[in-house]
Amino acid sequence: MYITKEGKKIFVEIDRDLCIGASSCVAIAPDTFDMDQESKAYMVGQEIDDYETVLEASKSCPVSAIILKDETGKQIWP
Protein backbone atom coordinates (compact mmCIF):
# COMPACT_ATOMS: atom_id res chain seq x y z
CA MET A 1 0.00 0.00 0.00
CA TYR A 2 1.19 3.52 -0.66
CA ILE A 3 0.37 7.07 0.20
CA THR A 4 1.11 10.11 -1.87
CA LYS A 5 3.39 12.92 -0.81
CA GLU A 6 3.91 15.84 -3.18
CA GLY A 7 2.85 13.63 -6.11
CA LYS A 8 5.26 10.83 -5.23
CA LYS A 9 4.37 7.43 -3.82
CA ILE A 10 5.47 6.45 -0.33
CA PHE A 11 5.13 2.72 0.30
CA VAL A 12 4.03 1.50 3.73
CA GLU A 13 4.80 -1.93 5.17
CA ILE A 14 4.35 -3.57 8.55
CA ASP A 15 6.94 -6.02 9.82
CA ARG A 16 4.50 -8.28 11.63
CA ASP A 17 7.33 -10.31 13.17
CA LEU A 18 8.39 -7.16 15.03
CA CYS A 19 4.88 -5.95 15.96
CA ILE A 20 4.12 -6.35 19.67
CA GLY A 21 0.53 -5.13 19.44
CA ALA A 22 1.08 -1.83 21.22
CA SER A 23 -1.67 -0.40 19.02
CA SER A 24 -0.41 3.18 18.97
CA CYS A 25 -0.41 3.12 15.16
CA VAL A 26 -4.14 2.34 15.19
CA ALA A 27 -4.82 5.16 17.66
CA ILE A 28 -3.05 7.70 15.44
CA ALA A 29 -3.98 6.42 11.96
CA PRO A 30 -7.17 4.34 12.21
CA ASP A 31 -7.93 4.64 8.49
CA THR A 32 -4.62 2.97 7.72
CA PHE A 33 -4.00 0.43 10.49
CA ASP A 34 -6.09 -1.97 12.53
CA MET A 35 -5.43 -4.91 14.84
CA ASP A 36 -6.14 -8.52 13.87
CA GLN A 37 -7.03 -11.51 16.06
CA GLU A 38 -3.34 -12.16 16.73
CA SER A 39 -3.06 -8.63 18.21
CA LYS A 40 -0.82 -7.59 15.34
CA ALA A 41 -1.31 -4.61 13.12
CA TYR A 42 -2.38 -4.88 9.49
CA MET A 43 -3.14 -2.39 6.75
CA VAL A 44 -6.84 -1.67 6.52
CA GLY A 45 -7.16 -1.40 2.77
CA GLN A 46 -8.96 1.19 0.66
CA GLU A 47 -8.79 4.29 2.78
CA ILE A 48 -5.54 5.57 4.13
CA ASP A 49 -4.55 8.54 6.23
CA ASP A 50 -2.40 11.34 4.88
CA TYR A 51 1.38 11.13 4.81
CA GLU A 52 2.00 13.18 7.95
CA THR A 53 -0.44 11.04 9.94
CA VAL A 54 1.07 7.77 8.74
CA LEU A 55 4.57 9.07 9.46
CA GLU A 56 3.49 10.08 12.97
CA ALA A 57 1.96 6.62 13.48
CA SER A 58 5.17 5.02 12.25
CA LYS A 59 7.24 7.10 14.65
CA SER A 60 4.93 6.11 17.50
CA CYS A 61 5.65 2.41 17.04
CA PRO A 62 7.86 1.29 19.96
CA VAL A 63 9.54 -1.41 17.89
CA SER A 64 9.80 0.51 14.58
CA ALA A 65 7.69 -2.11 12.79
CA ILE A 66 6.13 0.31 10.31
CA ILE A 67 8.46 0.91 7.40
CA LEU A 68 8.15 3.74 4.88
CA LYS A 69 9.99 3.66 1.56
CA ASP A 70 10.06 6.03 -1.38
CA GLU A 71 9.53 5.09 -5.02
CA THR A 72 13.16 4.07 -5.43
CA GLY A 73 12.97 1.65 -2.50
CA LYS A 74 14.98 3.94 -0.23
CA GLN A 75 13.88 3.61 3.37
CA ILE A 76 12.48 6.86 4.82
CA TRP A 77 11.54 5.50 8.23
CA PRO A 78 12.86 4.12 10.54
Residues that bind ligand SF4 (CB under 6 A): 14, 19-25, 41, 60-61, 63, 65-66
Cβ nearer to ligand SF4, comparing 20 with 71: 20
Q: CA nearest 56: which of 29, 37, 16? A: 29
Cβ nearer to ligand SF4, comparing 6 with 17: 17
Cβ nearer to ligand SF4, comparing 8 with 13: 13
Torsion of the alpha carbons at 63, 29, 32 and 55, rounded to the nearest 10: -60
Say if CB 19 and CB 2 are below 8 A apart. Answer: no
CB 9 to ligand SF4: min, Å: 21
